[in-house]
Amino acid sequence: MNYKLETIQCNICGADDTHKVTDKGQHSLPLNVVLCKACGLGYLNPRWDADGYLDFYKNQYDNYYRPDIKKEKKVSTKENPILSRLKERNLLGTDVKHILDIGSGAGDNLLDLGKAFPEAKLNAIEPSQESQVILKKNGIQVLSDDVNSNWDEALTDKFGVIIMRHVLEHFLDPLLALKRIRETLSDTGILYIAVPNNLNPIQSLEKSWFRVVHTYYFNKYSLANILRLAGLEEIEIVEGDRHNNGEVFLMARRSKEIVKPNISQDHYTEQRAVFERVQKEQSSLVYGLKNKISKVKRRFF
Protein backbone atom coordinates (compact mmCIF):
# COMPACT_ATOMS: atom_id res chain seq x y z
CA MET A 1 0.00 0.00 0.00
CA ASN A 2 2.14 2.76 -1.32
CA TYR A 3 -0.59 5.33 -1.52
CA LYS A 4 0.15 9.00 -2.07
CA LEU A 5 -0.13 11.27 0.96
CA GLU A 6 -1.90 14.61 1.19
CA THR A 7 -1.99 17.32 3.87
CA ILE A 8 -5.22 19.01 4.91
CA GLN A 9 -6.61 21.79 7.13
CA CYS A 10 -9.07 21.36 9.95
CA ASN A 11 -12.42 20.32 8.48
CA ILE A 12 -14.36 22.30 11.09
CA CYS A 13 -12.50 25.57 11.72
CA GLY A 14 -10.07 25.69 8.78
CA ALA A 15 -7.03 26.19 11.01
CA ASP A 16 -3.71 24.51 10.29
CA ASP A 17 -2.21 24.41 13.76
CA THR A 18 -2.07 20.96 15.31
CA HIS A 19 -0.66 18.92 18.14
CA LYS A 20 0.67 15.50 17.18
CA VAL A 21 -0.92 12.72 19.23
CA THR A 22 0.76 9.63 17.80
CA ASP A 23 2.01 7.83 14.71
CA LYS A 24 1.11 4.40 16.05
CA GLY A 25 -2.16 2.71 15.14
CA GLN A 26 -3.98 -0.50 14.43
CA HIS A 27 -2.42 -3.24 12.26
CA SER A 28 0.85 -1.25 12.36
CA LEU A 29 -0.36 0.69 9.32
CA PRO A 30 1.40 4.09 9.41
CA LEU A 31 -0.73 7.09 10.40
CA ASN A 32 -0.47 10.58 11.93
CA VAL A 33 -3.10 11.46 14.50
CA VAL A 34 -3.25 15.21 15.25
CA LEU A 35 -5.53 17.51 17.24
CA CYS A 36 -6.57 20.95 16.01
CA LYS A 37 -5.37 23.40 18.65
CA ALA A 38 -8.14 25.84 17.78
CA CYS A 39 -11.18 23.56 18.07
CA GLY A 40 -10.02 20.14 19.31
CA LEU A 41 -11.06 18.11 16.24
CA GLY A 42 -8.86 15.02 15.84
CA TYR A 43 -7.79 13.94 12.37
CA LEU A 44 -5.10 12.23 10.32
CA ASN A 45 -2.64 14.62 8.73
CA PRO A 46 -0.96 13.91 6.41
CA ARG A 47 -3.11 11.03 5.19
CA TRP A 48 -3.66 8.89 2.09
CA ASP A 49 -5.26 10.79 -0.77
CA ALA A 50 -8.75 10.04 -2.12
CA ASP A 51 -7.55 7.50 -4.69
CA GLY A 52 -5.62 5.64 -2.02
CA TYR A 53 -8.61 5.38 0.30
CA LEU A 54 -10.99 4.37 -2.48
CA ASP A 55 -8.62 1.58 -3.47
CA PHE A 56 -8.24 0.47 0.15
CA TYR A 57 -12.01 0.31 0.71
CA LYS A 58 -12.67 -1.53 -2.52
CA ASN A 59 -9.88 -4.06 -2.27
CA GLN A 60 -8.50 -4.28 1.26
CA TYR A 61 -11.07 -3.17 3.80
CA ASP A 62 -13.08 -6.39 4.02
CA ASN A 63 -9.92 -8.45 4.53
CA TYR A 64 -8.93 -6.27 7.48
CA TYR A 65 -12.29 -5.56 9.02
CA ARG A 66 -14.96 -7.92 7.70
CA PRO A 67 -13.32 -11.31 7.17
CA ASP A 68 -16.63 -13.11 7.85
CA ILE A 69 -18.63 -11.27 5.23
CA LYS A 70 -19.10 -14.31 2.97
CA LYS A 71 -20.30 -16.61 5.72
CA GLU A 72 -24.05 -17.11 6.11
CA LYS A 73 -25.22 -15.09 9.07
CA LYS A 74 -27.45 -16.39 11.81
CA VAL A 75 -30.58 -14.32 12.18
CA SER A 76 -29.96 -11.96 15.07
CA THR A 77 -32.60 -11.86 17.78
CA LYS A 78 -30.94 -9.00 19.66
CA GLU A 79 -32.64 -5.64 19.56
CA ASN A 80 -31.13 -3.25 17.08
CA PRO A 81 -29.47 -0.34 18.95
CA ILE A 82 -30.39 2.22 16.28
CA LEU A 83 -34.01 1.17 16.26
CA SER A 84 -34.33 1.13 20.03
CA ARG A 85 -32.54 4.47 20.47
CA LEU A 86 -34.90 6.12 17.98
CA LYS A 87 -37.95 4.41 19.48
CA GLU A 88 -37.04 5.39 23.05
CA ARG A 89 -36.99 9.01 21.97
CA ASN A 90 -40.17 8.84 19.89
CA LEU A 91 -38.18 9.75 16.80
CA LEU A 92 -39.46 7.00 14.54
CA GLY A 93 -41.85 8.90 12.32
CA THR A 94 -44.90 7.18 10.89
CA ASP A 95 -44.72 8.24 7.26
CA VAL A 96 -41.17 7.16 6.41
CA LYS A 97 -41.11 6.09 2.76
CA HIS A 98 -37.40 6.13 1.98
CA ILE A 99 -34.51 5.10 4.22
CA LEU A 100 -30.82 5.54 3.44
CA ASP A 101 -27.89 3.86 5.17
CA ILE A 102 -24.52 5.38 4.32
CA GLY A 103 -21.74 2.86 4.82
CA SER A 104 -24.32 0.13 5.22
CA GLY A 105 -21.99 -2.87 5.04
CA ALA A 106 -24.09 -5.91 4.18
CA GLY A 107 -27.28 -4.08 5.21
CA ASP A 108 -28.11 -5.57 8.62
CA ASN A 109 -29.26 -2.24 10.10
CA LEU A 110 -31.28 -1.40 7.00
CA LEU A 111 -33.12 -4.71 7.15
CA ASP A 112 -33.91 -4.17 10.85
CA LEU A 113 -35.21 -0.67 10.11
CA GLY A 114 -37.17 -2.07 7.19
CA LYS A 115 -39.11 -4.25 9.65
CA ALA A 116 -40.32 -1.10 11.41
CA PHE A 117 -41.33 0.42 8.05
CA PRO A 118 -42.44 -2.45 5.81
CA GLU A 119 -43.53 -0.05 3.06
CA ALA A 120 -40.31 1.95 2.97
CA LYS A 121 -37.78 1.66 0.17
CA LEU A 122 -34.30 0.79 1.43
CA ASN A 123 -31.23 2.49 -0.06
CA ALA A 124 -27.51 2.15 0.57
CA ILE A 125 -24.21 3.80 -0.21
CA GLU A 126 -21.47 1.24 0.21
CA PRO A 127 -18.00 0.91 -1.34
CA SER A 128 -17.42 -2.79 -0.67
CA GLN A 129 -18.13 -4.89 -3.75
CA GLU A 130 -18.92 -7.98 -1.69
CA SER A 131 -21.37 -6.07 0.48
CA GLN A 132 -23.05 -4.68 -2.63
CA VAL A 133 -23.79 -8.18 -3.88
CA ILE A 134 -25.50 -9.04 -0.57
CA LEU A 135 -27.40 -5.73 -0.49
CA LYS A 136 -28.81 -6.28 -3.97
CA LYS A 137 -29.76 -9.86 -3.13
CA ASN A 138 -31.83 -8.46 -0.25
CA GLY A 139 -33.66 -5.99 -2.48
CA ILE A 140 -31.76 -2.94 -1.26
CA GLN A 141 -31.00 -0.29 -3.85
CA VAL A 142 -27.32 0.67 -4.00
CA LEU A 143 -27.18 4.38 -4.87
CA SER A 144 -23.39 4.62 -5.11
CA ASP A 145 -20.12 3.15 -3.95
CA ASP A 146 -18.78 6.58 -2.98
CA VAL A 147 -20.38 9.16 -0.72
CA ASN A 148 -18.27 11.84 -2.45
CA SER A 149 -19.79 11.15 -5.85
CA ASN A 150 -22.89 12.94 -7.16
CA TRP A 151 -25.27 10.24 -5.90
CA ASP A 152 -27.76 12.90 -4.77
CA GLU A 153 -28.23 14.61 -8.12
CA ALA A 154 -30.65 12.13 -9.67
CA LEU A 155 -32.67 11.65 -6.49
CA THR A 156 -36.32 12.71 -6.57
CA ASP A 157 -37.39 11.41 -3.15
CA LYS A 158 -36.19 12.72 0.19
CA PHE A 159 -35.28 10.41 3.03
CA GLY A 160 -37.32 10.10 6.22
CA VAL A 161 -34.42 8.38 7.99
CA ILE A 162 -30.71 8.50 7.18
CA ILE A 163 -28.33 6.42 9.25
CA MET A 164 -24.56 6.69 9.44
CA ARG A 165 -23.28 4.17 11.93
CA HIS A 166 -19.53 4.50 12.43
CA VAL A 167 -18.92 6.04 9.02
CA LEU A 168 -18.47 9.79 9.55
CA GLU A 169 -15.04 9.14 11.09
CA HIS A 170 -14.03 7.45 7.81
CA PHE A 171 -14.87 10.39 5.52
CA LEU A 172 -12.29 12.58 3.79
CA ASP A 173 -14.50 15.69 3.96
CA PRO A 174 -17.22 15.05 6.55
CA LEU A 175 -18.52 18.64 6.45
CA LEU A 176 -19.06 18.59 2.70
CA ALA A 177 -20.68 15.15 2.94
CA LEU A 178 -23.07 16.34 5.68
CA LYS A 179 -24.07 19.41 3.66
CA ARG A 180 -24.95 17.12 0.76
CA ILE A 181 -26.75 14.68 3.04
CA ARG A 182 -28.79 17.53 4.55
CA GLU A 183 -30.25 18.30 1.14
CA THR A 184 -31.57 14.75 0.80
CA LEU A 185 -33.27 14.73 4.22
CA SER A 186 -37.03 15.37 4.22
CA ASP A 187 -38.43 18.28 6.26
CA THR A 188 -39.38 15.89 9.05
CA GLY A 189 -36.49 13.50 8.38
CA ILE A 190 -34.14 12.25 11.09
CA LEU A 191 -30.39 11.88 10.65
CA TYR A 192 -28.79 9.35 12.99
CA ILE A 193 -25.00 9.37 13.43
CA ALA A 194 -22.85 7.22 15.72
CA VAL A 195 -19.05 7.48 16.00
CA PRO A 196 -16.41 6.38 18.52
CA ASN A 197 -16.36 8.77 21.49
CA ASN A 198 -12.86 10.15 21.75
CA LEU A 199 -13.56 11.52 25.22
CA ASN A 200 -14.00 7.88 26.32
CA PRO A 201 -11.72 5.61 24.28
CA ILE A 202 -12.48 2.09 25.48
CA GLN A 203 -9.85 0.15 23.54
CA SER A 204 -6.10 0.17 23.24
CA LEU A 205 -5.27 3.44 21.46
CA GLU A 206 -2.33 1.97 19.58
CA LYS A 207 -3.74 -1.45 18.81
CA SER A 208 -7.32 -0.60 17.98
CA TRP A 209 -8.59 2.94 18.52
CA PHE A 210 -6.35 4.86 16.13
CA ARG A 211 -6.83 3.47 12.61
CA VAL A 212 -5.66 4.48 9.18
CA VAL A 213 -9.30 4.28 8.05
CA HIS A 214 -10.44 6.62 10.82
CA THR A 215 -9.54 9.92 9.23
CA TYR A 216 -11.41 11.88 11.97
CA TYR A 217 -11.67 11.61 15.78
CA PHE A 218 -14.87 13.27 17.00
CA ASN A 219 -16.33 14.09 20.39
CA LYS A 220 -19.60 15.75 21.48
CA TYR A 221 -18.16 19.23 20.83
CA SER A 222 -16.86 18.64 17.33
CA LEU A 223 -20.07 16.80 16.39
CA ALA A 224 -22.20 19.72 17.58
CA ASN A 225 -20.04 22.12 15.57
CA ILE A 226 -20.02 20.13 12.36
CA LEU A 227 -23.82 19.78 12.50
CA ARG A 228 -24.23 23.54 12.79
CA LEU A 229 -21.84 24.20 9.92
CA ALA A 230 -23.76 21.72 7.75
CA GLY A 231 -27.12 23.38 8.43
CA LEU A 232 -28.32 20.66 10.76
CA GLU A 233 -29.85 20.97 14.19
CA GLU A 234 -29.09 18.52 16.95
CA ILE A 235 -32.06 16.92 18.65
CA GLU A 236 -29.83 15.10 21.12
CA ILE A 237 -26.15 14.13 21.38
CA VAL A 238 -25.57 11.18 23.72
CA GLU A 239 -22.28 9.88 25.12
CA GLY A 240 -22.67 6.14 25.53
CA ASP A 241 -25.57 4.01 26.76
CA ARG A 242 -26.35 0.37 27.58
CA HIS A 243 -25.74 -0.62 23.96
CA ASN A 244 -22.27 0.87 23.66
CA ASN A 245 -20.30 2.77 26.25
CA GLY A 246 -17.56 3.89 23.88
CA GLU A 247 -19.56 5.72 21.25
CA VAL A 248 -21.26 9.05 20.95
CA PHE A 249 -24.46 9.15 18.91
CA LEU A 250 -26.81 11.87 17.80
CA MET A 251 -30.13 12.53 16.20
CA ALA A 252 -30.46 15.64 14.05
CA ARG A 253 -32.80 17.33 11.61
CA ARG A 254 -32.55 20.13 9.07
CA SER A 255 -32.17 23.41 10.90
CA LYS A 256 -34.27 26.39 9.93
CA GLU A 257 -31.82 29.03 11.04
CA ILE A 258 -28.06 29.36 10.88
CA VAL A 259 -26.37 28.83 14.24
CA LYS A 260 -22.68 29.66 14.61
CA PRO A 261 -20.35 26.87 15.76
CA ASN A 262 -18.78 27.13 19.20
CA ILE A 263 -15.04 27.04 18.42
CA SER A 264 -13.12 26.82 21.70
CA GLN A 265 -9.57 25.96 22.74
CA ASP A 266 -11.06 24.40 25.87
CA HIS A 267 -12.31 21.55 23.70
CA TYR A 268 -8.75 20.97 22.48
CA THR A 269 -7.39 21.04 26.03
CA GLU A 270 -10.00 18.54 27.22
CA GLN A 271 -9.50 16.15 24.31
CA ARG A 272 -5.71 16.27 24.59
CA ALA A 273 -5.87 15.56 28.33
CA VAL A 274 -8.02 12.47 27.71
CA PHE A 275 -5.62 11.06 25.10
CA GLU A 276 -2.60 11.74 27.32
CA ARG A 277 -4.22 10.15 30.37
CA VAL A 278 -5.22 7.03 28.42
CA GLN A 279 -1.82 6.80 26.70
CA LYS A 280 -0.18 6.89 30.13
CA GLU A 281 -2.53 4.26 31.58
CA GLN A 282 -2.06 1.97 28.62
CA SER A 283 1.72 2.21 28.61
CA SER A 284 1.84 1.01 32.21
CA LEU A 285 3.00 -2.48 33.09
CA VAL A 286 -0.31 -3.30 34.80
CA TYR A 287 -2.32 -2.48 31.66
CA GLY A 288 -0.03 -4.66 29.56
CA LEU A 289 -0.39 -7.56 31.97
CA LYS A 290 -4.19 -7.22 32.22
CA ASN A 291 -4.39 -7.20 28.46
CA LYS A 292 -2.29 -10.36 28.16
CA ILE A 293 -4.32 -12.16 30.82
CA SER A 294 -7.65 -11.31 29.17
CA LYS A 295 -6.30 -12.52 25.81
CA VAL A 296 -5.24 -15.84 27.34
CA LYS A 297 -8.66 -16.13 29.04
CA ARG A 298 -10.44 -15.51 25.77
CA ARG A 299 -8.45 -18.24 24.13
CA PHE A 300 -9.05 -20.90 26.76
CA PHE A 301 -12.44 -20.16 28.31
3-state secondary structure (DSSP) of residue 182 = helix
Q: Which is nearer to Zn ion, 132 or 271 (CB)?
A: 271
Between vectors from CA 121 to CA 118 and to CA 122, what angle results, nearest 5°?
100
Q: At its nearest, how many Å lie between Zn ion and the CB of residue 15?
A: 5
Instruction: Choose the binding region for Zn ion from 15-23, 131-139, 156-164, 174-182 (rule: CB under 5 A).
Output: 15-23
The residue type at 261: P
- Pairing mode, if any, of strands 33-36 and 18-22? antiparallel
Helix (H) or strand (E) holding 179: helix 174-184
Contact (Cβ atoms closer than 8 angstroms) between residue 248 and residue 194: yes
Answer for the pair 279, 265: CB distance below 8 angstroms, yes or no: no
Shortest Å, Cβ 200 to Zn ion: 21
Q: Compare residues 15 and 274 and give the one whose CB is closer to Zn ion.
A: 15
Residue from 13, 140, 212, 278 touching Zn ion (CB under 5 A): that is 13
Which lies closer to Zn ion via its Cβ, residue 30 or residue 46?
46
Smallest gap from Cβ 222 to Zn ion, in A, equals: 8
Our finding on whether 224 is near Zn ion (CB under 5 A) is no
Candidates 14-22, 97-105, 282-290, 293-301 — which segment interacts with Zn ion by CB under 5 A?
Answer: 14-22
Q: Which is nearer to Zn ion, 8 or 116 (CB)?
A: 8
User: What is the residue type of 9?
Assistant: Q
Distance CA 235, CA 183 (A): 18
- Binders in 131-150 for Zn ion, by CB under 5 A: none
Closest residue by Cα to residue 221 from 272, 258, 184: 272
Task: Compute the least distance from the CB of residue 217 to Zn ion, in Å.
Answer: 12
Q: What's the min distance (Å) between Cβ of 13 and Zn ion?
A: 3
Q: Count residues contacting Zn ion (CB under 5 A)?
A: 8
Residue 17 backbone zone (phi > 0: left; psi -120 to 50: alpha; other: beta) = beta
Nearest approach in angstroms of CB 10 to Zn ion is 3
Choose the stretch contacting Zn ion; rule: CB under 5 A; options: 5-13, 131-139, 173-181, 240-248. 5-13
| Identity of the amino acid at 148 | N
Of 89, 113, 86, 87, nearest in space to 100 by CA = 113
CB of 280 to Zn ion, least distance (A): 25
Which stretch in 8-16, 140-148, 208-216, 283-291 sits in contact with Zn ion by CB under 5 A?
Answer: 8-16
Q: 29-48: which residues touch Zn ion (CB under 5 A)?
A: 36, 38-39, 41
Closest to 102 measured CA to CA, from 198, 171, 12, 10:
171
Contacts with Zn ion, residue ranges (CB under 5 A)? 10, 12-13, 15, 36, 38-39, 41
